[in-house]
Structure 1
Amino acid sequence: MRIAFLVAPEGVEQVELTEPWKAAADAGHQPVLVSTGSGKVQGFNHLDKADTFEADEVVGEADAGSFGGLVLPGGVANPDFLRMDERAVGFVKDFFDQGRPVAAICHAPWTLVEADVVRDRVLTSWPSLKTDIRNAGGAWVDEQVKICDQGPNQLVTSRKPDDLKAFCEAFLRVFEAEAG
């Protein structure tokens, strides 16, 4: 299965990209780095620059229908940049409209809030997003990983890098079940 990993050209928390990427690849899936710009994506270890990664596709040219699922890595800046890009927000919304599974960690639910897809859903995130999620009509819980199946698709969310093992296991289980 092709799995889209949506990121901005900079600001993604590197471990929240690389660990789920590796988990997907190790499970036999094809991870695809989709960005709002072509070329390199700058990863970060919190506030310090880390490695760069080559974008495989640009969000304005990518089709949600060609992927089995979507992973939204966090970092503070990454989802903030994504939620300001109409094409990125539309790409995320397309996954929900098509009933495809989505996984988001840390600050990534900011993009879900902007796409207006958290209403009546229960999710988790970095704690500072609690009010944003509630204001968007969602319910926030402080859990390592939360799988929400309200609506036509499954949503897997997690709080932080310390939760990556549980996050990866959960999103892979959900994505594979959705694929049939």
Structure 2
Amino acid sequence: MEPLSKESLRRAALDARKAFVRTLSDGAKARLEQKLAQTLTSLFAGVSVVAGYHPLGSEISPLLAMEEARAVGAIAAFPSFSNPAKPFRFIAGDPLEPGPFGIMQPARRHPVVEPDLVLVPLIAVDGAGTRLGRGKGHYDRALTRLKKSGARLIGVGWAMQRLTEAIPADAWDVPLDGFASPDGLELFSR
């Protein structure tokens, strides 16, 4: 059997994530997101800036985890686009304003910050840290620079988003350092 192309794998994984989230009651979803926050708390010690994201569609929400990061003294930052054609920057503050692509982002008057821990949304991830995103390359462009600066990149998702099979990696894919779900934290060895 031929391995799935990245695009067909992306579609299948996104459909699976949507189907999984449809099975969750609001209470069950909230409990899982609370477990995710508890899982991520161990990573916040000694971190100055934690970058998260405002969830879209069936993505797991890291917003409770971002509150935990603030509670231990970290600056919470979110992606912000000033120009949809350029890589986003991380801006300190709450994601309260609509930006391009339907993504909520902080007001641009807030400061641009350099995160040392990035919570990365994904459609799927494999055991090598290869991330399957939405396919637009926004995170790939931002993560390349952040990885070089030493930021830790932790994929965030529902446990079922961790695939056992390998995701085909392209030259521009930036491998993640780990994957956090309500079931726990897995760090990938390099």
Task: Point out the structure with max Rg over C-alpha.
Answer: 2
TM-score normalised by L of structure 2? 0.43
Q: Higher helix proportion, which one?
A: 1
Q: Which structure shows the higher strand fraction?
A: 1
With the length of structure 1 as denominator, give the TM-score of the two structures. 0.45
